[in-house]
């Protein structure tokens, strides 16, 4: 049996998350980014659609963590960029739509009432991201999450039956 890996079309189409995750705001962010790249003098022209929209332009929106996904033979590994947070600040659930990652990034010291921030570029707030799992058979009970350096890594082991190595097809001369 060969496993059918559905193409991850959301590589280009962003996973719909956050409060303002609509196409217009994505465009807005991209535009912001162009301007910011120019303003900050880094002047690396954006390569549209080939790069993650993670740069300066996103700073004025609600916090939507960047996510990396990779797949090994035995598991799917999801890394969430969540500065100042650890795995306890994140709530995971497996739903019909996929892996749901929820949490809230809070601004440090805001609860202490130490006076306001005069200048804020980072974004904060509640978020949810869904990583579609397509037809991957996840071993629900063995899902783990760890964190280090503001990156939360979620490991979703695949069920053994799904760990099928590609079958080699021999080609016979006709």
Partner 1 sequence: MNEQGCCGSQLNDVKATKEVAPAVDIALDESTGAYRIVVDLPGVNEADVEVQAHDGELEIVAGVGGRDNEGDVLLCEAPQRSYRRRFRLAEDIDVEKISAQFEAGVLTLDLPRVASAKPRKIEIRSAH
Binding to partner 1 (CB under 8 A) within 14-43 occurs at 40, 42
Q: Note whether 106 binds partner 1 by CB under 8 A.
A: no
Q: Is 135 in the site for partner 1 (CB under 8 A)?
A: no
At residue 19, the 3 state secondary structure works out as: coil
69 binds partner 1 (CB under 8 A): yes
Considering the rule CB under 8 A, would residue 70 count as an interface residue with partner 1?
yes
Q: How many CA atoms lie within 13 A of 144 on its CB side?
A: 5
Residue 59 within binding range of partner 1, rule CB under 8 A: yes
Identity of the residue, 28 or 87, whose beta carbon is nearer to partner 1 in the bound complex: 87
Select 2 or 174, whichever has its Cβ closest to partner 1. 2
| 137 sits near partner 1 (criterion: CB under 8 A) | no
Buried b (16+ CB within 10 A) or exposed e, 96-125: eebbebebebeeeeeeeeeeeeeeeeebee
One residue of 34, 62, 71, 125 binding partner 1 per CB under 8 A: 71
- Taking CB under 8 A as the criterion, the residue among 24, 73, 95, 96 binding partner 1 is 73
In this structure, how many other beta carbons lie within 10 angstroms of the beta carbon of residue 28?
16
Q: What is the contact surface with partner 1 in residues (CB under 8 A)?
A: 8, 10-11, 40, 42, 44, 50, 52-56, 59, 66-73, 77, 79, 81-86, 107-109, 114-123, 131, 147, 149-151
């Amino acid at each position: 049996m060969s496993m059918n890996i559905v193409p991850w079309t959301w590589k280009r189409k962003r996973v719909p998350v956050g409060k303002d995750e609509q196409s217009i705001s994505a465009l807005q962010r991209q535009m912001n980014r162009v301007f910011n790249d120019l303003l900050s003098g880094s002047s690396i022209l954006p390569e549209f659609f080939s790069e993650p929209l993670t740069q300066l332009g996103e700073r004025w929106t609600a916090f939507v963590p960047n996510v990396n996904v990779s797949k090994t033979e035995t598991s799917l590994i999801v890394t969430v960029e969540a500065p100042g947070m650890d795995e306890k600040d994140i709530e995971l659930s497996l739903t019909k739509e996929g892996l749901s990652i929820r949490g809230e990034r809070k601004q440090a010291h805001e609860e202490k009432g130490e006076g306001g921030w005069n200048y804020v570029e980072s974004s904060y707030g509640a978020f949810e991201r869904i990583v579609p799992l397509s037809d991957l058979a996840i071993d629900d009970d063995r899902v783990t999450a760890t964190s280090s350096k503001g990156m939360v890594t979620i490991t979703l082991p695949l069920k053994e039956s799904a760990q099928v190595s590609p079958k080699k097809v021999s080609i016979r001369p006709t």
